[in-house]
Amino acid sequence: MAKNYSRELADLRSAGGDTVSNAGRILADAARLAARYSRNEIAPRARNEYVEHLAPLVATGLAAGRRYLRSAPVPKKKSGLGSFIAAGFAVALVAGVAYVAWQTLRTDDDAWVEDELDVD
C-alpha cells in the first residue's frame, strides 16, 4: 500500500476508534436498559396475564377434556381379515429390510478376485 494511503488509513482508524468505542458503550447501555425494562415492566405484566387469564383457561380446558374422555364410550376392537393381511405385509416388509441389510453388511471373501492377465 502506498504511504499516503497508509497514513489516511491510520488517520481513519484513530478517528474511528473513538466512534467505535462510543458505539460500543451506547450498545452496552441500551442492552442494560432493555434488560432492566424487561425485568421490571414486561415480565410482571406477562406473569400477571398468565396467572389471571391463560392458566384458568388451560385448567378449564383440561378439566373439560377429562370429563369428555371419562364419559365417552370405548368401542370394542374387532380383528378381521384386513388386520391379519396388514400384519402379514408388515412381517414381510420387516423380513425384506432385514435381508437387504444382511446382504449389505455381510463380508464377502470372494468379492475381490484377482484378474489373471495372460501377458505373452
**Would 49 be classed as within a structural domain?**
yes
**Would 34 be classed as within a structural domain?**
yes
29 band by pLDDT with thresholds 50, 70 and 90:
confident
Enclosing domain of residue 20: 7-73
**Would 57 be classed as within a structural domain?**
yes
| Number of domains forming the structure of the chain | 1
**Would 89 be classed as within a structural domain?**
no
Helical H segments across the chain, by residue range: 3-37, 43-49, 55-71, 81-105
Assess whether pLDDT exceeds 90 at residue 89.
yes
SS3 56: helix
SS3 22: helix
- What are the pLDDT digits (tens) for 46-82? 999 889 988 998 999 999 999 988 888 877 777 788 8
**Would 102 be classed as within a structural domain?**
no
- What are the pLDDT digits (tens) for 42-56? 899 999 988 998 899
- In the structure grid, which three cell numbers stand for residue 112, read together? 475381490
C-alpha distances in angstroms, 89 versus 32, 74, 82, 96? Answer: 63, 28, 11, 10
**Would 78 be classed as within a structural domain?**
no
120 vs 70, residue with greater confidence: 70
Q: Please indicate, yes or no, whether the overall pTM of this predicted structure exceeds 0.75.
A: no
**Would 53 be classed as within a structural domain?**
yes
